[in-house]
Structure 1
């Protein structure tokens, strides 16, 4: 009798890109009393109008008593930012996901509640998860754009304290992996915040894919060196999410969201070339960067082109004195691409590098593969050997983020 063909169990997922919707009291319970009226706080108010064209999100809050759908809005200095269905769409069919304001009661509790999040991770075959912010935006741009940077620094620190002590606290059982913010407007303060959090076990920090879009220095300058040195010394991974430059790729002011959604990887592409041609990885040899939600299928051609430019044009290309190896070699040692749905990329793993690929589920966003991330992974990785799947789904993340062999955060 022939032996039965037993397929190995798909590994428990370590997702390097999920999101948290911050509870309403994150800042109100942590800021000094004098800042409670200007710091981030939630109010319930009607929506007057909303649009998302040309990569720009434009909501307008109505006055109390006006007609319009009610939603919960973050207020901060002069900012009015509503919670929307795009912030937390899991549990809704694709046709039900629209650009609309919502309240906390209208979202899946796992978006903001730790025990409920763990339960939703169990449903989705996910063991551990790294979560990017919502209200602060993907690298804390909200606090960078504010007028009062004294308050902004307190807001960054309050968020990080909540992230480490509560979101990733004892109730999370090591399954939620902290990702912290920095005050982007001051590299010395940023370095201090990296070290403060590294001392309590944090190994990942959010950063902008293209800082000049935020009015900040580029990675080609020396301005970021104190921050980069702190990451280099502490083994803190620099995590860049699509949209962390506050400018999603688009082609025109009237391009529908579908255009930008199709080319979301573009900023990651531009950013990766910036880093590879910056010389920073040679100056800070322990630096690691990862691109969340950027997918991976585009990487092989960019590496091929970067190598050609470095070889043929470096004499006049401005990199001969700082980039001393082919960019593809530098990529292999320092850069990680993250994906949740990229069959083409998985067919070209050899050209990317097995050790440079990480898996994600994007919970609770509209693109999320929840609650079928395992099924999606099995379908796309079915042609790969089990040890290869293990690396992509678990081992690379364990090694990059300094997790325990079991895939949990070390406090």
Structure 2
């Protein structure tokens, strides 16, 4: 089975690839099982560290990009779900955390229990089975309860506990989620303590020593009350990534602020413009000078899609050429932003026919494929069919690069697309 799963597309008699290559998804998600922190935290912290409680929902809203659930007390009326409880935080599992297998018109913002979600959301064997159904060989998975770059632990009051929670998550990710049972098909993505760049650098190096080549980060740190990438604050972290070959992975929403237009805008508004934070973030990075200072640094935008990239590169080049004298970048950005993009930035998509029609303006080497399992936007179980329909005009070698080759190079996988510590 492992050999079969490690293959790309089948080969014809003359050795050329045939059929759609096996997918390496660079943006899937794991729903952490209840034991992750309870099994790994010191006993004195198990009462305040993350744990799961079954309780009713009192009320829940999601407007203007803000998610606001309220947990009821035992015996209260209301739908019952499983909640993560951590210090003063009460965060329910919702159908949006794990929506695959449901008709899209049936997906609602509602609380659920572990028993009500697809087992592949949190079980390694079931995840591999669902990957098989979807023509997926390997997958990189972002967190759920910690949020997309560990904001949950950054917002907590006890920093000592927060650091232990980050390390516990990373140990679970490497040793269990991506452990022997995964047969190299699950690729580790780790977290950092965002509140301390030196501790963050140490955590990058700790995980790089065991083969990890991807770390989650915020697309727009100031939205989290943290310094921007234009400062020197993050340099210890960036240096650790540069020296270890660790890619910085930024998921939409990793700034805890989904794009919206007003406090009463329905979620559909934000869902349409989810790429916006990626767009703003990429301009930040291209104008920061960090790629000049850290030449091996590479970043990727998960679930940001790619169709918006050509215009932003065109505009950034014009600004750099015509306005850099007064624009504050002449001394630190020494090459056109589009050149920096080509060497350092990767866009990720799961459904972007427009972007693929304009691939020449982006670069086939800067694009990665994803399936977003188990979220409501996921193309599971038809990611292959979506890819075939949208990439049918591309040469087979270009499809191979987008669907798996670029991910192999970026994430340090084996030539046949597996993670080996």
Counterpart in the other structure of 1:71: 81
What are the ranges of 5 or more consecutive residues in structure 2 without an aligned counterpart?
Answer: 1-15
Residue number in structure 1 paired with 2:8? none
1:221 aligned to 231, 235, 240, which one?
231
What is the deviation of 1:9? 1.1
Alignment of 1:8-407 (within 5 A): 8-407=18-417
Cα deviations by residue, 1:347-366 (Å, 9 ceiling, x for unpaired): 00000001000000000000
Report the TM-score when normalising by structure 2: 0.96
Q: Distance in 1 between matches of 2:17 and 2:88?
A: 56
> Between Structure 1 and Structure 2, how many residues are aligned?
406
Q: Once the two structures are superposed, what CA deviation does each residue of 1:162-218 show, in whole Å capped at 9, x if it has no partner?
A: 000000000000000000000000000000000000000000000000000000000
1:7 CA displacement: 9.6
Corresponding residue number in structure 2 for 1:3: none
For residue 129 of structure 1, give the secondary structure of its aligned residue in structure 2. strand
Task: Please give the per-residue CA displacement for 1:132-191, whole angstroms capped at 9, x wherever unaligned.
Answer: 000000000000000001000000000000000000000000000000000000000000
| Structure 1 counterpart SS, 2:78 | coil
Q: Is the alpha carbon distance of 1:41 and 1:325 closer, same or farther for their aligned partners in structure 2, counting shifts above 3 Å? A: same
- SS at structure 1 position matched to 2:27: strand
Instruction: Tell me how far apart the structure 2 counterparts of residues 294 and 253 of structure 1 sit (CA, whole Å).
Output: 23
Maintained 8 Å contact 2:17/2:396 = no
Secondary structure in 2 aligned to 1:60? strand
Normalised to the residue count of structure 1, the TM-score between the two structures is 0.98
RMSD, aligned α-carbons: 0.8
Give the Cα separation in 2 of the matches to 1:28 and 1:65: 26
Distance 1:354 1:72 in 2: 42
* Cα distance in 2 for residues equivalent to 1:302 and 1:11: 30
Dislocated runs of 4+, deviation >4 Å: none
**Cα separation, 2, equivalents of 1:314 and 1:331:** 17
Q: Paired residue for 2:420?
A: 410
C-alpha distance in 1, partners of 2:35/2:176?
A: 12
SS in 2 for 1:26: helix
- CA deviations over 1:253-282 (Å, ceiling 9, x no partner): 000000000000000000000000000000
Cross-structure match for 2:7: none
Map Cα deviations across residues 107-139 of structure 1 (whole Å, 9 max, x no partner): 000000000000000000000000000000000
CA–CA separation in structure 1 for the residues paired with 2:100 and 2:164: 32
Instruction: Report the CA distance between 1:8 and its aligned residue.
Output: 2.8
SS at match of 1:71: strand
Deviation of the 1:58 alpha carbon: 0.3
